[in-house]
Amino acid sequence: MRSQRVAVWGLGGHAIRNILPALAATNGVELYGVCSRTESTVGSCAQKWNCKGWTEPEPMLIDKNVDIIFLATPIGLHFEHGMRVLAAAKHFWCEKPLTCRLTDTLELLELSRSKRVSVCEGHMYLHHPQFRRILDYVRGGSVGRVVSIGCRFGIPRLEQETFRSDPLRGGGALFDVGCYPVSAIEALFPDQQMEVSYAVIGTREGSAVDTDGHAIIALSNAVRVHLEWRINCAYRNEIDIWGEKGSIFSDKVFSKSPDHVPEFRLRNAQGVEKTEYGSTGDHFSLMLQYFLGTVSDMESAEEERSRIARRAEVLERIARGAGYPVNRRQGE
């Protein structure tokens, strides 16, 4: 199969730092072009990566050489931009989360089916050897039957002003960081029902967006899950899995640099601890390789759609449970 030509839409910090280098480093994909409204950014990226540059999306959308559009615009614009990508019958790879509300996500998924193109959601850490190893521990019964999971993701205040402080562009802790712990639980237990027993979402004084949240989820296999997420606070990025025969703790489970060596603190039933180490990896590149599989294999594409839908269902249940306004979107 020839390389798939990818155009990246939205040249913010994330695309420039992580996605463009990962596209250049991944076999099977070719960075064909970049699109953003800021002419100087488009010019410098097109020059650096020797690719096309557009300051308007239309020429990118009608370019027959573009197979895939990787969307890295603000979260609150993903639905509107995603509809345009799919209407142009391009494969649609999108930053997390796909949209801010379940009905929008389902609409995009349905349109992708009718256009026979893939939709993928950028939860890169799921493809890192660290998370693969956590899956192996749990599925291999290392801790016996899992009874409880605690998972936290929180990030300090960012220096640069981005869409994150604007509720109409999808800013806020739930969509920016809360989506990670939710996706981890979905990946660990893809066959279980997830009932949100308790959810609270907070907005610290002076913030236009939600700054923190906590949810308790009861899985149909009786696992109890405690999720917590925050922005503008000290960094936490961890998972703690408690089973009948032992437990596992791992730090930097979501965001990390490619040279991060994963550590797994394993405790046996008596609480005796040992540490095991995992492999490094560039999760963005590994994610792109996984996404490529959804272009050629309809079954993988459908599996990714159903995982995106399950994550969106839980996020929406959390939002509704906490009384959070799920219907906000730019222009409404």
Q: Which is closer to ligand NAP, CB of 126 or CB of 217?
A: 126
* Terminal-to-terminal C-alpha distance of the chain: 43
Q: Which of residues 67-126 bind ligand NAP (CB under 6 A)?
A: 72-75, 77, 95-96, 122, 124
Total residues belonging to the chain: 332
Q: Which stretch binds ligand NAP (CB under 6 A): 6-14, 20-28, 221-229, 309-317?
A: 6-14
15 Cβ contact partners less than 8 Å away, ≥ 6 residues apart: 8, 34, 70, 72
Among 32, 163, 264, 291, binds ligand NAP (CB under 6 A): 163
In angstroms, give the least distance from the CB of 124 to ligand NAP: 5
Three-state secondary structure call for residue 302: helix
Shortest Cβ contact with ligand NAP: which residue? Answer: 12
Q: Which is closer to ligand NAP, CB of 152 or CB of 248?
A: 152
Contact yes or no for 133/107 (Cβ under 8 A): no
Tokens read off for 117? 């193109």
Q: Which is closer to ligand NAP, CB of 84 or CB of 265?
A: 84
Cα-trace Rg, the chain:
20
Three-state secondary structure call for residue 269: coil
4 Cβ contact partners less than 8 Å away, ≥ 6 residues apart: 28, 29, 30, 67, 68, 91, 292, 295
20 Cβ contact partners less than 8 Å away, ≥ 6 residues apart: 8, 31, 34, 45, 48, 49
C-alpha–C-alpha distance, residues 249 and 128, integer Å:
16
Q: Which is closer to ligand NAP, CB of 21 or CB of 246?
A: 21
Please return the burial class of 1, using the count of CB atoms within 10 Å of its CB with bins 0-12, 13-18 and 19+: exposed
Residue 156 in contact with ligand NAP, rule: CB under 6 A? no
Q: Which is closer to ligand NAP, CB of 138 or CB of 209?
A: 209
Contact yes or no for 180/153 (Cβ under 8 A): yes
Among 12, 33, 167, 278, binds ligand NAP (CB under 6 A): 12
Q: Which is closer to ligand NAP, CB of 60 or CB of 318?
A: 60
Q: Which is closer to ligand NAP, CB of 178 or CB of 243?
A: 178
Q: Which is closer to ligand NAP, CB of 184 or CB of 223?
A: 184
Tokens read off for 16? 């420039």
Q: Which of residues 34-63 bind ligand NAP (CB under 6 A)?
A: 36-38, 41
Please return the burial class of 318, using the count of CB atoms within 10 Å of its CB with bins 0-12, 13-18 and 19+: buried
* C-beta neighbour count of 148 within 10 angstroms: 14
Q: Which of residues 259-318 bind ligand NAP (CB under 6 A)?
A: none
Query: Could you tell me how many residues of this chain bind ligand NAP (CB under 6 A)?
Result: 23
Q: Which of residues 206-245 bind ligand NAP (CB under 6 A)?
A: none
In angstroms, give the least distance from the CB of 71 to ligand NAP: 8
Residue 141 in contact with ligand NAP, rule: CB under 6 A? no
Q: Which stretch binds ligand NAP (CB under 6 A): 10-18, 209-217, 234-242, 300-308?
A: 10-18
Q: Which is closer to ligand NAP, CB of 74 or CB of 167?
A: 74
Three-state secondary structure call for residue 113: helix
Q: Which residues are at the interface with ligand NAP (CB under 6 A)?
A: 10-15, 36-38, 41, 72-75, 77, 95-96, 122, 124, 162-163, 176, 255
